Structure formats: structure tokens, C-alpha cells
Structure 1
């Protein structure tokens, strides 16, 4: 199939498909006499795999490192890479649970502020509750996200 058909079936832009090809994630791309790319049916499966893996948190570099070269089987390396990603996700879950608990504490601090107390005093209490290293990193992330 040509790149237009592959783009339509995969839901990806042709430029994204060419990018994946240039990164070595899609191989066995043939050329027609007119120079147009000709993709094997397996290319659609590979694009779906790439999309799923990226949604699961894999970077393109991680994917490329785990992909077997033609005729080569990397079963153990694949399993190790997948297990590493699971460990990273679990560590992120712990960090997110901690951040969530801290934010819920901040919400309670704000709710506990009596009516009529100037906002500046409430802000000081909130900032004081975020003095921990995790709170500081949350503030830094939030300030980067709002830029």
C-alpha cells in the first residue's frame, strides 16, 4: 500500500509515518518505479504497535532498542524492557499517590480557613504546607505548566 493508504488506515499523518521510517521503526519499505514508497501490510501492524507502546509510556528510543533486527530474536531483552517499564509506572503511581494526598491536604487547609481571613494569610498557610520537597516540586511543575 502507498503512504496515503497507510496514513488513512492508521490515522497517522504521512509525515509521522516517514518519521518512524527514518527512525528505523518501520522497515522493509519498498520503492516503486516512480519513487513512491510501498509499504507491506505489516507496516500497519507496526504503526499500531508503536502507537500502543507510546500510550503505555514507551519512548521511541526504548521501542527501537527492544525491536528485533531481521532474523534476530530478543525475547529476554524484550521481557526485561517491559518489566523495567512496569517498574517505572509503579514508581510514578507511588509519586502520584503522594502528590494527590498532599494536594488533598492543601484543599483541606484552604477549606479550614475561616471566612473573612485575608487571602494573603491563606496563601502563606498553603505555601507553608507545600514546603516539603514534594510540594516544592509540585510548585515547580505547576509554574512550568502555566508558562
Structure 2
């Protein structure tokens, strides 16, 4: 299939497909005598894997190591290791995000419900001290 058809079926632009090809994510294709690229049927599902993996947070380099070396030639151990590594990375990110969320909520609460009558600079220092104390307890 030509690149226009592949673009239409995949929902990607032709330039995006060329980019993936240039970066070794999809197999280099044969060119016809007229110079048109001719993609095999596996190109569509490889593009679906690439876009799905990008949505899941994989970088192009990570994706490159997860893709089959040839159609239906998956490196199962490398694929499983890559997927497990991404889950662990997501869990670490979730932990950091939850810590950030807790700090922001504490800052909001401190600002909204702090002691009255303090000067602006003193109130800011009180909020910072409360955040620092909370961080020391959490660490």
C-alpha cells in the first residue's frame, strides 16, 4: 500500500510515517520504479503499536526496543521487561505526584486557614515552616 493509503488507514500524517521510517521504527520499504513507497500489511499494525505505546508514555527509543525484529518475530523477554519497567516508572511517578498533591493541598490549607493577623511576610514564613515541617515528617 502507498503512504497515502497507510496514512489514511492509520490516522497519521504521511510525514509522521516517514519520520518513523527514518528512525527505524517501521521497516524500510521498497520503492517502486516511480519512487513511491510500498508498505506491507504489517506496517499498519506496527504503527498502531507505536502510537499506542506513545500514549502509554513510552519514548521512541523505548518503543524501538519493544518492536519485533521482523514481522511476528517478537523478543518476548525484552518486551515483558520493557513493559514491566514502564509500569514501575509509572508507579514511581504516581508516588511523586501524590507527594506533590499533598504538598499543594497543605499549602492551600495553610494559606486559607492560617493564623489571622500576621503580616504578609510573616504569614508566608508560617506557611513555608508548615510545609517544611510536613516534609521532614514525610521524609
Q: TM-score range by the shorter chain?
A: 0.7 to 0.9
Q: Is residue 62 of structure 1 aligned with residue 88 of structure 2?
A: no
| RMSD after superposition | 2.3
CA 1:38/1:130 → structure 2, altered by over 3 Å: closer, same or farther? farther
Q: Is the alpha carbon distance of 1:129 and 1:32 closer, same or farther for their aligned partners in structure 2, counting shifts above 3 Å?
A: farther
1: CA distance, partners of 2:74 / 2:46: 16
Moved segments of 4+, more than 6 Å:
none
- Whole-Å Cα distance in 1 between the matches of residues 69 and 3 of structure 2? 23
Q: 1:45 to 1:68 in 2, by over 3 A?
A: closer
SS at 1:33 equivalent:
coil
Matches within 5 A, 1:1-147: 1-70=1-70, 72-113=73-114, 119-131=120-132
What TM-score, normalized by structure 1, do the two folds share? 0.77
TM-score, scaled to structure 2: 0.81
User: Which protein has the larger Cα radius of gyration, Structure 1 or Structure 2?
Assistant: 2
Q: Name the CA distance, whole Å, in 1 between partners of 2:7 and 2:74.
A: 29
**Corresponding position of 1:142:** none
Structure 2 residue runs of 5 or longer lacking an equivalent are: none
Distance in 2 between residues matched to 1:27 and 1:102, nearest whole Å: 47
1:95 offset after TM fit, Å?
A: 0.8
The farther-off stretch of 23-32 and 93-102 is 23-32
The alpha carbon displacement at 1:125 in A equals 3.9
Q: Is the 8 A contact 1:28 1:40 kept in 2?
A: no
TM-superposition CA deviations, 1:95-119 (whole Å, max 9, x none):
1111111111111011114677665
Runs of at least 5 residues in structure 1 that lack an aligned partner in the other structure: 135-147
Give 1:143's aligned residue.
none
Cα distance, 1:89 vs structure 2: 0.6
